[in-house]
Amino acid sequence: MMYVLQTKPGQDDNAVRDLERLGYRSYAPRRIALHRRGGTWWEAEYPVFPGYVFLDDLELTDVDYHRIMPCVGVIRFLGHGAPEPLPEHEAEYIRWLHNGGKPIAPSEVRIRPDGSMQYVSGLISSYAGRVEHNSRQRRATIRISIAGKLHRITLAVRYVQQTDLMADPGVDTSPGVAQDCMMPVT
């Protein structure tokens, strides 16, 4: 079962380290966001759920509870009066967002000449059709339910404008192909 801990602001990573030191599998999913400053795009890393840590594969006992509560930054378990585990389908969302312990990298989306979008890579490709895009800010938003509440998860996106040449079915658009055409004549 998966439980949710509320943590003090900015203490997510410290709580995860402390919990893992005690032998608990804990997650604080992170994402990479794209920002624009001075005409240049740069990346920064942020928590997906600031102030929350997820404990996985835990059959919570009184002993566990009293070992977890003094950990760095931990405020409380989420639940109505007592710690409540997440439903399994919501726990799967958290495992998916945990991304194997790596921050969620920007997804790549190709914009076709007709304005439709083709998901090339990244986590949002499995949510195709249920994604809200803000191409100017290079962000996409998906909605998922965690602990019975609907959350909007904003992830970074790299948009690639598809040209008519790329749209032709007989043209190889794999990386490196264009360089063959650019070789100097000998």
Residues of the domain holding 33: 2-159
How many separate domains does the chain show? 1
Are 172 and 153 spatial neighbours (Cβ–Cβ below 8 Å)?
A: no
Distance, in Å, from the CA atom of 171 to the CA atom of 54, rounded to the nearest integer, reads 46
Strand partners, 119: 109
Within a 10 A sphere around the Cβ of 21, how many other Cβ atoms?
10
Kindly state whether residue 68 falls inside one of the protein's structural domains.
Answer: yes
Strand partners, 108: 121, 158
Kindly state whether residue 183 falls inside one of the protein's structural domains.
Answer: no
Kindly state whether residue 127 falls inside one of the protein's structural domains.
Answer: yes
Kindly state whether residue 88 falls inside one of the protein's structural domains.
Answer: yes
Question: What does pTM read for this prediction?
Answer: 0.78
Kindly state whether residue 106 falls inside one of the protein's structural domains.
Answer: yes
Q: What CATH number is associated with residue 77?
A: 3.30.70.940
Kindly state whether residue 169 falls inside one of the protein's structural domains.
Answer: no
At 31, the amino acid letter reads R
pLDDT one digit per residue (tens) for the chain, 186 residues: 999 999 999 999 999 999 999 999 999 999 999 998 888 889 999 999 999 999 999 999 999 999 999 999 999 999 988 999 999 999 998 999 999 999 999 999 888 888 788 888 888 887 766 788 888 889 989 888 887 788 888 999 998 876 554 444 444 444 443 333 333 333
Kindly state whether residue 167 falls inside one of the protein's structural domains.
Answer: no
pLDDT for 162: 65
Kindly state whether residue 177 falls inside one of the protein's structural domains.
Answer: no
